[in-house]
Structures are given as structure tokens and as C-alpha cells.
């Protein structure tokens, strides 16, 4: 059981970092950031937990730790739910 829990934890960490990386790429490559006078970087899905704005060479940034924790919990629940559901289906198919 510990092995399954640790595997689910590692998978959820990988998925969380992948989603965060993709939100950074989307934020950087958005055409709106290249046409207006300031740049915005937002990290986080479904809740934005980091935001950085560059306006006239002045960098502003902010973290929202509550949204970061909420994103981590949602990712953990979703990934572990899918992982344990898949294990359950696989063990039921082997028992039949």
C-alpha cells in the first residue's frame, strides 16, 4: 500500500509541474503579451498562484499561497483518483 501511495504522490508531483510549465509557456507565447506595452506572466491552472507584470521596466510580482496549495491538493486528488481507479479495474479484470 505504501508503494501505491508513493507512486501516486510522485505521479501527482510530475503532473503538477507539467501543468505549471505549460501555463508558463502559454503565458509567454500569447500574442497579446507581444503587442501591448506590458508583459504578463501567469502560472497556475485552474487557479493562478503566481503573477508577474513588467510595465515600463518596472517588475511587479505576487504569489498567492492559498491558490498554490489548492492547486496541489486538486492535482493530488485527481491523479490519485485516476491512478487507484485504474488499479482497481486492473485487479478486477485479473480476478475474472
What is the pLDDT, as a whole number, of residue 56? 76
Three-class SS of residue 62?
strand
What is the pLDDT, as a whole number, of residue 37? 60
**pLDDT digits 0-9 by tens, 35-94:** 566 678 888 988 999 998 877 778 888 999 999 999 999 999 999 999 999 988 888 888
Higher per-residue pLDDT: 13 or 26? 13
Task: Provide the pLDDT confidence category of residue 30 given band limits of 50, 70 and 90.
Answer: confident
Span 13-33, average pLDDT: 85
Span 8-16, average pLDDT: 93
Cα 78 to Cα 7, 15, 81, 93, distances in angstroms: 14, 10, 5, 23
What is the pLDDT, as a whole number, of residue 59? 83
Q: What are phi and psi of 87, to 5 degrees?
A: -65, -40
Amino acid at each position: 500500500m505504501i508503494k501505491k501511495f508513493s507512486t501516486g504522490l510522485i505521479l501527482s508531483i510530475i503532473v503538477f509541474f507539467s501543468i505549471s510549465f505549460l501555463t508558463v509557456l502559454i503565458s509567454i507565447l500569447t500574442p497579446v503579451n507581444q503587442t501591448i506595452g506590458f508583459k504578463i506572466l501567469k502560472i497556475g491552472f485552474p487557479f493562478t498562484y503566481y503573477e508577474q507584470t513588467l510595465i515600463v521596466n518596472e517588475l511587479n510580482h505576487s504569489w498567492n499561497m492559498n491558490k498554490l496549495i489548492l492547486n496541489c491538493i486538486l492535482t493530488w486528488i485527481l491523479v490519485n483518483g485516476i491512478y487507484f481507479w485504474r488499479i482497481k479495474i486492473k485487479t478486477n479484470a485479473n480476478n475474472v
